[in-house]
Amino acid sequence: HSAKMLLVLVLSLLASCTVAEEKGPPQDHHRAVFAYHPPAAPEDNALPRLTDVSAVKAFIDSAEVVVIGFFESDDSLGSKEFVAAAKEVKTIPAALCNEKEVWTDYSIESDTITLFRKADLHQESFVISKAKKVDTDGLVRFFTINDIRYITEYTQVSAVGLFQSKVKVHLVIFANRGSASYKSLTEELGALAPRYAGKMLFVLVNGKDRANERALGYFNLKPSDLPRVGLYDIESDKSWLLPAGKITNERVQDFCDSFVSGELQVGLLWWWVVGSYLAAMFAIPTCQTSPVIIRPMQLEYPHTVPADGAVGVEVE
């Protein structure tokens, strides 16, 4: 009888321990295996949505270059590729606009990707229906080629966008990257550039880059001569060089204004006549009589201009 009582007591104690373990806090090995881990919150990197004209205008005014995807829906052809390309090119603010009522204000008739630029007051559009191919890599190239700012550093890629722009006059800033004047010069002239938006593009040429030796040569310059400032008119294929001296906003502004007013071009013709006369009479080289370079610059930037609707641009 006592043995039975002892067995009942042991079984009761085992049952009590089992219940207590189930109700009590889990042991470490239980926590490692069965503990609940909530999923990480998704990263909030969605592009902003522009729902009316005022929102679009504010977005365009927010930066020197912006890009907007005008798509009827998120499932439209090219929409996902646009979002992927926009996330890859982080230097250009991007947004989406699905409101067709807004499109007419920007001459958008169908699904279109458009870059808005302040430097040349231009919107560069890529119409999806006219494209031979739409992919993320192609759109990334479209963004970077057309990324023209108040001061654009010259590269073989940016040259394509620079020479496709409707603005055909370049103020060329020659400077050696890393020099004491490089940063201050670009900042000062960068502040001047908006004054000539739509009239001339400010182009920065790094004199230390061997790829730019030809551009320096057209102005008869060497890296040791820098910094210097010149003007190049694509349509007339003529170039002018600001005389040596301290480069200030006032001097550069006078230089630019003289071109806009036509005085620089008249001066070039006058110096050409005088120089030709002196050269003929006294065998004096013409270039020594003129404060400007009267030999055409003849820039030959190697690039291939894409056919209408083509996104891919091959750069040599």
pLDDT, greater one: 198 or 271: 198
169-175 and 201-206 beta bridge pairing: parallel
**For the chain, what percent of residues have pLDDT higher than 90?**
64
Pairwise CA distance, residues 128 & 71, whole Å? 9
Band of the pLDDT at 278, cuts 50, 70, 90?
low
Question: SS3 for 170?
Answer: strand
Where is pLDDT greater, at 7 or 231? 231
Give the pLDDT of residue 39.
Answer: 38
Q: Are strands 238-241 and 122-127 parallel, antiparallel or unpaired?
A: unpaired
Q: How confident is the model at residue 261 (pLDDT cuts 50, 70, 90)?
A: very high
Q: What is the rounded radius of gyration, in angstroms, for the C-alpha atoms of the chain?
A: 33
Determine which helix (DSSP H) or strand (DSSP E) holds 229, and give its type and residue range: strand 228-233
Both structure tokens of 63: 């930066």
- The confidence score (pLDDT) of residue 283 equals 56
CA atoms of 173 and 231, how far apart (whole Å):
9
- Residue 306 CA: distances (Å) to CA of 164, 303, 313: 10, 9, 6
Is residue 270 predicted with pLDDT exceeding 80?
Answer: no
Q: What is the pLDDT of residue 216?
A: 92
pLDDT greater than 70 at residue 284? no
* Distance separating alpha carbons of residues 186 and 241, to the nearest angstrom: 18
d(CA 316, CA 308): 20
Distances (CA, A) of 154 to 26, 90, 143: 65, 20, 16
Compute CA distances 110 → 134, 161, 286, whole Å: 15, 24, 56
Q: What is the pLDDT of residues 26-80, one digit of tens each?
A: 444 444 333 333 433 334 468 999 999 999 999 999 999 999 999 999 999 999 9
Q: What is the pLDDT of residues 149-167, one digit of tens each?
A: 999 999 999 999 999 999 9
pLDDT band at 265 (very low <50, low <70, confident <90, very high): confident
**Predicted pLDDT at 279:** 59
Name the average pLDDT for the chain. Answer: 80
In this structure, are residues 99 and 50 in contact, taking their beta carbons and an 8 Å threshold? Answer: yes
Task: Give the confidence band of 89 by pLDDT, cuts at 50, 70, 90.
Answer: very high
- Kindly tell me if the per-residue pLDDT of 251 is higher than 90: yes
Which of 99, 97, 88 is CA-nearest to residue 45?
88
> How many degrees, rounded to 5, is the angle at CA 219 between CA 214 and CA 225?
95
pLDDT at 45: 61
Q: Which two tokens stand for residue 184?
A: 């201050």
CB-CB contact of 85 with 60 (8 Å):
no
Average pLDDT estimate for 164-186:
93
At 267 the pLDDT is 60
Report yes or no: 77 and 38 within 8 Å, Cβ to Cβ. no
The H or E element spanning position 151 is: strand 151-153
Q: Is the pLDDT of residue 235 over 70?
A: yes
